[in-house]
């Protein structure tokens, strides 16, 4: 189970199914509540219409035993004392109204006659001519005979008519009559339609919702499977690359414009950068080993000769090889620290002072430096300007100039020589490690080819740039730009 839920496809399917289930339950509950409320309101309106019909007859002075009451709806007429004076014929049981009585009780002195409700045929009934006259005058005297009130209450209850029990919505409507006092009519509207509709809707939901959830789960499973298929291809290829250590391989890239395609492109870009980095590291190790081999071999030869023939020992040469070896080791150590992400620090350093200090004691070097403070490592910035001056002196014919100033928010240090300059095609290549362009940069005179590479890396670590272009007086001009402190 844990492995199954560990799958993105499984979690997506489960999440989608749960969300749809919650939405369906909420929507279903809202529909059922709205349907039930509307149907109950409809039953209440039916009950109110039935009650109003009976109330209109009572207000017109119609006797109890002549009231026109629908035999299919439960109706009660109750006087001010709570006595039942008229009711639906065949009413056997009732609850939820003002009284549980179902049969009117004859009482002396009741105006309009006694008895239960059915029809106009009592012994004291008038003849047809008299009935016709009374009916003709009912409408004209309704307003004078009684005053009809508003619906006073809506309640739920039940009733049994002719052996048929059912639930009803009861409306209570009062009427004020002159001869019979205050009467209250209770009439019921059937809730059968509401119960039937709600039960039908609930049955449909109980059957349809699980089927719909099954469809949602299946569709989500298939869609996520199709969407994640390229991801599985990427995973398999990455596993193969890891096993083979072949960084030249690339993951399959789908022909789409979605997140998976962007993931594949980013993965391939990462692999390309990693391949470049590993290849660069391999070249670096190979070049470093090659550069170290020369001074070590020279120093060993001199020491072996000195052991066999002390009089032939070239002490100055041995010292020179040792110094070269020490400088190369220091350069390699600095590059390693820069590659490891060593920060430049945040000390304030005057770039003009650094330039004057590095130029001191060098021949044919002119310095024009203003105050330009930057934040960083003094030692690393001294190494940059020192490397630039060393490079310029190796290529200059007669003179080297150094200038430091401000250019907006930047401190600018420029080192120019009057040599042959750098061809435009080589202006980026010279900043690569262990690169020498001509005979003037041999191992003996020009070092290992790490000075400019170190200078650019340090400039980048300080948030600046190092570029080369033609100097105004000929030769090469190296420009270091760093943000002012």
Does residue 108 have a pLDDT over 60?
Answer: no
Beta strands in 152-254 (DSSP E): 153-161, 164-177, 181-190
| CB distance 178 to 146 below 8 Å | yes
Does residue 447 have a pLDDT over 70?
Answer: no
Does residue 257 have a pLDDT over 50?
Answer: yes
Average pLDDT over residues 438-446: 47
Per-residue pLDDT, 482? 94
Q: What is the largest CA-CA distance in the chain?
A: 167
Within 8 A by CB and 6+ apart from 213, the residues are 17, 20, 21, 24
11: its two tokens: 């979690």
Q: Residues 47, 53, 57, 59: what is their CA dihedral angle, to the nearest 10 degrees?
A: 80
Give 91's strand partners.
Answer: 161
Per-residue pLDDT, 138? 43
Average pLDDT over residues 104-126: 46
User: 354: helix, coil or strand?
Assistant: helix
Does residue 290 have a pLDDT over 80?
Answer: no
Does residue 467 have a pLDDT over 90?
Answer: yes
Does residue 120 have a pLDDT over 50?
Answer: no
Per-residue pLDDT, 474? 82
Phi then psi for 436, rounded to 5 degrees?
-125, 135
Per-residue pLDDT, 438? 57
What is the chain's mean pLDDT, rounded? 82
User: 136: helix, coil or strand?
Assistant: helix
Does residue 473 have a pLDDT over 80?
Answer: no
Within 8 A by CB and 6+ apart from 364, the residues are 393, 396, 398, 399, 400
Average pLDDT over residues 159-165: 91
Distance of CA 471 to the CA centre of its chain: 55
Cβ neighbourhood burial of 95 (10 Å; 0-12, 13-18, 19+):
middle
**Predicted confidence band of residue 143 (pLDDT cuts 50, 70, 90):** very low
**Predicted confidence band of residue 415 (pLDDT cuts 50, 70, 90):** very high
Does residue 228 have a pLDDT over 90?
Answer: no
Length of the chain, in residues: 485
Per-residue pLDDT, 284? 75
449: its two tokens: 């080819």
User: 478: helix, coil or strand?
Assistant: strand
Distance of CA 27 to the CA centre of its chain: 25
Domain ranges of the chain: 1-245, 259-326, 343-483
| CB distance 213 to 231 below 8 Å | no
Tens digits of residue pLDDT in 171-211: 999 998 888 888 999 999 999 888 899 999 999 999 999 99
Per-residue pLDDT, 327? 79
Instruction: Identify which of 414, 385, 416, 417 has the alpha carbon closest to the alpha carbon of residue 398.
Output: 417
Distance of CA 63 to the CA centre of its chain: 75
Range 343-483 classified under CATH 3.40.50.920: no
**Cα separation, 91 vs 99, whole angstroms:** 13
Angle, alpha carbons 450-454-457 (nearest 5°): 140
| CB distance 85 to 98 below 8 Å | no
Does residue 283 have a pLDDT over 50?
Answer: yes
| CB distance 482 to 376 below 8 Å | yes
Weakest-pLDDT range from 67-81, 112-126, 288-302: 112-126
Beta strands in 271-323 (DSSP E): none
Give 470's strand partners.
Answer: 476
Per-residue pLDDT, 214? 93
Does residue 329 have a pLDDT over 90?
Answer: no
Beta strands in 294-434 (DSSP E): 347-350, 365-369, 373-376, 400-407, 410-417
Does residue 419 have a pLDDT over 50?
Answer: yes
**Predicted confidence band of residue 410 (pLDDT cuts 50, 70, 90):** very high
| CB distance 355 to 413 below 8 Å | yes
Tens digits of residue pLDDT in 336-354: 777 777 777 788 999 999 9
């Amino acid at each position: 189970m844990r492995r199954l839920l560990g799958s993105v496809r499984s979690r997506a399917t489960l999440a989608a199914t749960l969300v749809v289930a919650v939405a369906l339950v909420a929507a279903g509950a809202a529909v059922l509540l709205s349907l039930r409320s509307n149907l109950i309101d409809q039953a209440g309106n039916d009950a109110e219409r039935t009650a109003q019909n009976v109330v209109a007859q009572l207000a017109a002075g119609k006797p109890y035993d002549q009231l026109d009451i629908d035999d299919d709806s439960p109706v009660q007429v109750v006087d001010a004392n709570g006595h039942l004076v008229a009711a639906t014929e065949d009413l056997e049981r009732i609850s939820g109204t003002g009284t549980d009585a179902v049969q009117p009780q004859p009482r002396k002195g009741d105006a309009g006659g006694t008895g239960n409700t059915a029809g106009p045929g009592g012994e004291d009934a008038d003849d047809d001519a008299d009935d016709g006259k009374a009916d003709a005058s009912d409408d004209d005297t309704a307003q004078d005979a009684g005053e009809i009130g508003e619906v006073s209450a809506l309640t739920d209850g039940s009733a049994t008519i002719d052996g048929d029990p059912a639930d009803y919505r009861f409306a209570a409507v009062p009427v004020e009559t002159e001869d019979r006092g205050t009467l209250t009519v209770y009439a019921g509207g059937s809730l059968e339609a509401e119960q039937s509709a709600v039960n039908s809707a609930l049955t449909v939901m109980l059957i349809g919702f699980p089927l719909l959830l099954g469809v949602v789960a299946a569709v989500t499973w298939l869609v996520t499977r199709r969407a994640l298929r390229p991801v599985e291809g990427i995973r398999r290829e990455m596993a193969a690359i890891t096993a083979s250590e072949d960084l030249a391989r690339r993951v399959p890239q789908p022909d789409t414009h979605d997140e998976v395609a962007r993931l594949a492109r980013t993965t391939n870009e990462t692999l390309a950068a990693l391949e470049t980095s590993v290849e660069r590291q391999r070249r670096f190790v190979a070049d470093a080993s090659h550069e170290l081999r020369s001074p070590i071999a020279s120093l060993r030869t001199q020491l072996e000769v000195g052991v066999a023939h002390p009089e032939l020992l070239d002490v100055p040469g041995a010292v020179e090889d040792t110094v070269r070896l020490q400088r190369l080791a220091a350069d390699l150590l600095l590059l390693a620290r820069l590659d490891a992400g060593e920060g430049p620090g945040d000390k304030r350093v005057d770039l003009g002072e650094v330039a004057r200090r590095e130029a001191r004691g060098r021949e044919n070097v002119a310095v024009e430096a203003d105050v330009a403070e930057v934040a960083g490592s003094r030692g690393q910035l001294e190494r940059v300007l020192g490397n630039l001056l060393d490079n310029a002196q190796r290529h200059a014919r007669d003179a080297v100039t150094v200038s430091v100033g401000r250019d907006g928010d930047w401190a600018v240090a420029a080192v120019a020589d009057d040599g042959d300059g750098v061809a435009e095609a080589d202006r980026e290549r010279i900043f690569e490690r262990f690169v020498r362009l001509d005979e003037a940069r041999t191992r003996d005179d020009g070092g290992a080819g790490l000075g400019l590479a170190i200078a650019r890396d340090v400039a980048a670590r300080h948030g600046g740039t190092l570029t080369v272009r033609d100097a105004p007086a000929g030769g090469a001009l190296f420009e270091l730009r760093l943000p002012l402190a």
